[in-house]
Structure 1
Amino acid sequence: MEAPVYTQSPTEQQEGWSPAPERGDAFSLAGLKHGDVLFRSPEAAFRGWADPADDLVECRDIDYVRAVSSLAENLKSRQRNTDVIFGAVPFSRRLPGRFFAPRQRRVPLSTQVEGRVAAQPGRECRRDALPDRQGYVRAVQSTLEAIGHGEVDKVVLARALDILLDEPVSYPALLGRLLSGHRQGYTFAMPVPAESGGLEMLVGASPELLARRKGDRITVNPLAGSAARQTDPVKDSAVSQALAASEKDRHEHAIVVDDIRQRLAPLCRELKVPQAPSVIGTDTLWHLSTEITGVLADPATTALDVALALHPTPAICGQPATAAGRCIDLLEPFERGFYAGLVGWQDVRGDGEWAIALRCAQIHDSRLRLYAGAGIVEGSDPEREYEETATKLGTLLHAVF
């Protein structure tokens, strides 16, 4: 395997690295553009700048841990005025991820959503569904047949929307809305490799933390089983209670938690897994949630090590993973790319956060591809699963239009 590739601008090679300049408000979205970085979680917030004249360290390698380790050593040896590496890992472990260290600023959480939201992006010119409603329902029916035959226990089936606007996406507008509407989740904008070459932007507001490490302590928070929120408070509460009691949704959730428990056990000397899930809410959905905490057996295990030990979880692939992956390859008429992969950050000490890339779109100029999926298990209703994906797509659609 080839060694990771590092790129440095002439400015860095000749003059060394300098931190990002002050640009008004600590978390102003003004000037945020294609190639820049943003990551906001309940624990941390960053903005990174990647301009052609500025230094940029980049590393692509299918061996993701080796890539990040090499990049961290490179930063240490050059005494960079930053210790945070950003990255994205695709859904398929066969494809290269992208890890890089732009000039950046860690932002106080108290100021992270200040500032005016910019004007809306342009008008929609075209929309194509992959697949359409009938096609998705048929795919769910085929999956239920496979489950009935004992071939697989769970499959997460996704669909996509391709949207063409009349002008390029305004990243300040899009991210301003995501930041304002999803304060408890993981909002991100990350440049990733495009299938056609060059870079496109992975932008989203995920509700799901895959792995966080602080010292030898880790947190993993799988979500599986969901129901749409209601505008009427009484009905909304009833939906939440029904989700908590749903045998089908609790079964779907248990598949995920049991798998994660087994994968974390070799990494941890202490592991705490709640006996029953709780119900947490986003603006659009209720989710069954289990917050798992642990103490690492080896303090050298990084946040990315933990995330990769779990990826892909049954929450975004299925169970067993190999059989579920075959169903996905057969029934989804598109490549997932970085959808349902990992997005996040890690410092040179190994602390960091990696979220699952959900409620997201891959964007280039005026073209967007939005993704959403639903977990199919015994008892799933094809029409309801389609409606669940429609609700999930609404996160990005409401931010774009």
Structure 2
Amino acid sequence: VAVAVEADGPERLARVRRAATALFDGADVDGPGIARPRFFGGLAFHEEATGRDPWADFPAARFVVPEAQVAFDGDDAWLTVTAVDAEADAETVDDRLDDLRETLESLDDAPLEGPPGVSDRHRTTSVEAWHESVDAAVSRIRAGDLRKVVLAQALEVELDRPAAAPDLLARLGGTYPDCHRFLVEPNGGASFLGATPERLVSLRGREVETGALAGTTGRGDTDDEDEWLANELLGSEKDNHEHELVAETIREQLAPLSADIRVGDRGIRKLATVQHLWTPIDATLERDEHVLSLVDALHPTPAVGGLPPEAALDVIRDTEPFDRGWYAAPVGWFDADGDGSFAVALRSAIVEETLATLFAGVGLVADSDPDAEWDEVQLKYRPILDELERDD
């Protein structure tokens, strides 16, 4: 890591932005836009980091400029080296660039390690406790205290051997090629990784891309069953209500910043184990903005928090018997122009040695059923769990 910036509290993203701007303003950058240094990182779901396991190494916000960065643009690949202060003379940087290029060119396509295997599991939430939590949340929604709240579960998994995080991420890429993959290792210990279908926001110039992803069902064993499930989801009053709350809120959050907002047709996003209701939303900003300002405006969306936001966050804090840490929070990158792209850290786990903690959540509305929501959580564990379990 060439540079690391950490912050906490309500102003954490503003503090990160100020530190990044100061660094970029003093940088001597050589290369096209695709190759220029970027900050990579993310933040915790809540404004303050608790320091509780397994998140002890993860602050409330952390972004880094890596010493070495590889970016792909079509058939081209760009290697960028960043050096700071005493190491920043041109000759040192050129030598380091040559060394890294030789290292990359000498890499073999080694076969990926197979799944480490699962020896034991421990649920942080029992079926009985889940029923109580869902019933309590639904009662508050029906009473008018809430419109929606997202409750999550955590699953602790003991592994037969330590998991190789890069290999796990690569295998996820094979199964979920259209998802946003991420891997964060703040101090070289615990690894937070996942393959999420949900983009929070992408900004290039004044053009914004985002969308509403909410409402879930499984995949069918046959094409006909799969199509039937998709049609049932498209026709579900409960799922469409949940979805519309998310889409409506994203539009409202973008409206003060936008000259134009375009909402696409609602459809189905199919993944290996689940399918979701999906509505693309694009916007053109009224003026120049930094992508971190959009992240701050949008997080947490009702797809991972709820409505009203503060009331939903209070329910989440009071109900969930574990620390969300960086689960369901923004992860991504930004550059010197303020452009960038962030995803929502879903279908994810934090892994250290032979312990993996998986996370999954569901959106609750007035007619949510505890058993159906429990089953949906189990479906959402499958992307990570499938890559940890051996086939034998």
Instruction: Indicate if the aligned counterparts of 1:192 and 1:202 stay in contact, CA closer than 8 A.
Output: no
1:102-141 correspondence to structure 2 within 5 Å:
102=66, 103-108=68-73, 115=109, 117-141=111-135
Structure 2 CA distance, aligned partners of 1:191 and 1:254? 35
Q: Any residues of structure 2 matched to 1:125-274 within 5 Å, and which?
A: 125-192=119-186, 199-274=189-264
State the SS of the aligned residue for 2:334.
Answer: strand
Aligned-residue sequence identity (percent) comes to 32
Deviations 1:94-150 (A, max 9, x none): 3421100112101346699x9565122433233110102232222112211111222
Matches within 5 A, 1:2-401: 55-62=1-8, 63-79=12-28, 82-95=36-49, 96-102=60-66, 103-108=68-73, 115=109, 117-192=111-186, 199-274=189-264, 277-299=266-288, 301-401=289-389
Cα distance in 1 for residues equivalent to 2:339 and 2:331: 14
How far residue 234 of structure 1 moved from its aligned partner, in angstroms, is 0.2
- In 1, distance between residues paired with 2:4 and 2:330? 17
User: Are the structure 2 counterparts of residues 166 and 278 from structure 1 closer, same or farther at C-alpha, using a change threshold of 3 Å?
Assistant: same
Q: Please say if residues 223 and 289 of structure 1, whose CA atoms lie closer than 8 Å, have aligned partners that are also in contact.
A: yes
- SS, match of residue 163 in structure 2: coil
Unpaired runs of at least 5, structure 2: 31-35, 50-59, 78-107
Q: Secondary structure at the match of 1:294?
A: strand
Rounded to whole Å, the distance in 2 between the matches of 1:166 and 1:72 is 45
Conserved in 1, the CA contact under 8 Å of 2:306 and 2:313? Answer: yes
Q: Report what 1:46 is aligned to.
A: none
How far is 1:362 from its partner?
1.2
- Contact between 2:115 and 2:387, CA under 8 Å: does it hold in 1? no
TM-score (normalizing by structure 1) = 0.80
* Unaligned 5+ runs, structure 1: 1-54
State how far apart, in whole Å, the 1-side matches of 2:313 and 2:379 are: 24
Question: Aligned equivalents of 1:80 and 1:166: distance in 2?
Answer: 46
CA shift for structure 1 position 257:
1.1
Which of the pair is proportionally richer in helix?
2
Aligned residues: 340
Match of 1:23 in 2: none
User: What secondary structure is seen at the aligned counterpart in 1 of 2:190?
Assistant: strand
**Distance in 2 between residues matched to 1:242 and 1:157, nearest whole Å:** 23
Q: 1:117 to 1:91 in 2, by over 3 A?
A: farther
CA distance in 1, matches of 2:259, 2:344: 25
The equivalent of 2:105 in structure 1 is none
Residue 330 of structure 1 deviates from its aligned partner by 1.8
Partners of 1:235 and 1:172 in 2: how far apart? 35
Q: What is the Cα deviation at residue 153 of structure 1?
A: 1.2
Letter of the structure 2 residue corresponding to residue 136 of structure 1: W
Cα 1:287–1:115, aligned 2, differ >3 Å: closer, same or farther?
farther
Q: Secondary structure at the match of 1:312?
A: coil
**Counterpart Cα distance in 2 of 1:257 and 1:146:** 22
Partner residue, 2:82:
none
**Hey, what's the Cα distance between the residues in 2 that align with 1:329 and 1:346?**
30
Q: Which residue in the other structure is 1:33 paired with?
A: none
Instruction: Say whether the 8 Å CA contact 2:118–2:388 is kept in structure 1.
Output: no
- Partner deviation per Cα, 1:260-312 (whole Å, 9 max, x = no partner): 111100111111123x522111111111111111111111x122211210100
Q: CA deviation at 1:366?
A: 1.9
Q: Which amino acid aligns with 1:107?
A: F
